[in-house]
Amino acid sequence: MSTMMFTVHDMLKRPPFQHASILAGRGGLQKAVSWAHILELTKVKHLLHGSECVMTTGIGWGKELQHARSFLEQLIEKKVTCLCIELGDYINHLPPPLLQLADDHDLPVLVFDKEVRFIDISKDINQLILQSSRLMPRQESWAGRWLEGTMTDKEALPYLEKTIGSREARGFPCLLTGYDDSIPYQRDIFQSFFQKEGFHPLTVQNRDELVLLLLDERREQVSERLSRSLKRMKEKAGSMYHTISCGPLFTNLSEIPPAMRCAQEADHIQAAFQLEMPFYEKLHPWRLIIEDDKRGALESFIQDTLGDVLAYDEAHDTELLLTLRAYLESYGSKKDTAERLFIVRQTLYHRIQKLEEILGPHFLRFEQRMALEMALLGWQYIQSPVRS
């Protein structure tokens, strides 16, 4: 096997292919295989990225194989590397016109004339692909350079256009962290949650991150469908990633880079504030904190608003700041605050009295309360290890 890529020729040397026959497309045996999929649908174009080995029993092709040509044309359009077919219950032959079409496009068509376990074959192939990819010299991807700022948005546009296949684009950019490409089918699993809601997910990997461009194919209730996708993915596959963050809707190619920057900021905010809020557009208070910090105004704002409380805590080894936060989060309920802090009410009354001495007796009024809550968020941020 080549150390640079896994080809159809390499695949044919595997034990499961000892009894396979090549019916067409011998000119494509040196093509690289990126992954193996089992597909039994008739409309498959949106599930493919190119260079895959597709396996099927042809169950959806119809008794007269009326859907076979459309299936093959979709594979050719998406530049699939090869097609494996099990002859038997659903297909007992392939018409010459289909084989000629495959030959014309150097698409290898491999057939098994007896029952095989495609699930085992695909697992074997994908494990070998992963092994061969680890032997390849690691190269910094364009996505990595773009996300890390060493490639400008303008320089990234041609790569984005190539990924999408068009300058016309509408959808959401998302950034998933904690991605492990050693887990078979992981990318397919993530994509399936969005496909069920009418999105066409395109993916680009950068180390342990996965950039998802969710192209919208339905154009109605788009935010609701994205929310359902993320909720279902969290419920069913939450252990397979760390966080996912989504930027605002883009409506053309040029809007993708700024929208992606928003997704990156949402990821940063989730990490810094320990949140589970994937939508950039719902992170307004935290975004203001980030902007204040960028302008160099955050620390002075915190000092102006909370400086006396922080100084008192430091001088007397007290927990007034923690108490203030719990009191505000409990909407001024002394009972809930005491329960949250696991202290008796008498202790709480003493702390609140001291806060009133420092902050004034009316610190729960709207204007001052809003400033205190923002300063508390700012304090949390400057204590965070991910603050840049």
At 290-321, the pLDDT tens digits run 999 999 999 999 999 999 999 999 999 999 99
Parallel, antiparallel or unpaired: strands 52-56 and 82-86: parallel
Let me know: does 54 contact 73? Beta carbons within 8 Å: no
Which pLDDT value is given to residue 114? Answer: 84
Q: How many residues make up the chain in this entry?
A: 388
**Does residue 149 have a pLDDT over 90?**
no
Query: Which pLDDT band holds residue 1 (cuts at 50, 70, 90)?
Result: very low
At residue 134, the pLDDT reads: 47
Tell me what the pLDDT averaged over the chain comes to. 88
pLDDT band at 141 (very low <50, low <70, confident <90, very high): confident
* Most confident region among 28-42, 95-109, 168-182, 191-205 by mean pLDDT: 95-109
Domains of the chain: 8-135 (3.40.1390.20), 142-282 (3.30.70.260), 292-383 (1.10.10.2840)
Burial readout 157-181 (b: 16 or more C-beta within 10 A, e: otherwise): bebbeebbeeeebbbbbbbbbebee
Mean pLDDT of 155-169: 78
| Structure token digits, residue 350 | 């003493």
- Beta bridge partners, 38, equal 55
Statement: residue 138 has pLDDT above 50: no
pLDDT above 50 for 85: yes
pLDDT value, residue 369: 96
pLDDT beyond 50 at 257:
yes
What letter does residue 342 receive in the DSSP assignment? T
115, containing H or E segment: none
* Structure-token pair, residue 244: 């996912």
A 10 A CB-CB count for 97 gives: 11
Residue 108 pLDDT > 70: yes
Most confident of 85-89, 149-153, 346-350: 346-350
Confidence tier at 364 by pLDDT (50, 70, 90): very high
pLDDT category at 225 given cuts 50, 70, 90 is: very high
Rounded to an integer, the average pLDDT of 153-172 is 81
**Nearest 5°: CA angle at 315, between 311 and 321?**
50
pLDDT at site 233: 94
What is the torsion angle, in degrees rounded to the nearest 10, for the CA atoms of residue 258, residue 264, residue 266 and residue 267? 170
- Is residue 386's pLDDT more than 90? no
- Higher confidence at residue 206 or residue 261? 261
